[in-house]
Amino acid sequence: MPSVCFYFEVHQPYRLRPYGALQVGRDHEYFDEKLNGEILRKVAYKCYLPANESMLRLIERTEGRFRVSYAVTGVAIEQMKLYAPEVLDSFVRLAKTGAVEFVAETYYHSLAALYDEDEYREQIEMELKLVKSEFGQVPRVFRNTELIYNDEIGQLIADQGFDAMIIEGADDVLDWRSPNFVYRVADREMKLLAKNYKLSDDIAFRFSNKAWSDYPLTPEKFAGWVHGERGAGDVVNLFMDYETFGEHQWKETGIFEFLER
């Protein structure tokens, strides 16, 4: 059976409040703090806290053999501190197990890579400092916003000293190649880990879809699919939004039981 790599994205944007033309230059309160707090707390209790508890149980049950990685944006951490500090505490507990790796990305989950290289570097540096401060780790792996990749971005990230980068494994990107192999950036030694979007999306989007031909998705069935990748690669990269657990796929669907089995 190939190795399985779990990576989850944790991000919460700042929501803008209604802002009229007559307020320009007079009112500098752009963000809807009430809505930000409501959404962060809702996601915290539906997803972040129960999912982190599940991950902690898996790590303890396997004596650290189960491992997982996260990218937590700077703005998500800012809002955790403001509205649900217990969520940040739960990520710190995971970090202390030694079985959790924190991946770097842009502080603001931005598209700076496509527009401004200096801004891009600055946001990466901000994120690195925050991850070191909050979780005691210096990330060695990078993920760009929405896994956007081209060789220029890859070379820039390699030159920043990262060991690997997580990228989208879409068919039009990989062409005939399988996402289950480890690739390298052109003219650099940095590794590229491509998302197996088919298996990732089976959990993230199709898990509770009763019209799906493979519903219901059981742990045994999914493990069989992963096992079926044997001989077609070295690693199956399961990358998805962390809100898959409890928010996109509600607790009532059995997603947490699926995760822990």
Q: Which residues are known catalytic residues?
A: 146
Strands 182-184 and 68-72, by their bridges, are unpaired
Quick one: how far is CA 184 from the chain centroid? Answer: 21
Q: Find the helix packing angle between 151-159 and 117-135, rounded to 10°.
A: 50
Q: In what order do the strands lie in the sheet with 235-241?
A: 100-102, 68-72, 3-10, 235-241
Instruction: List CB contacts of 236: < 8 A, sequence separation 6 or more.
Output: 2, 3, 4, 5, 180, 196, 199, 226, 229
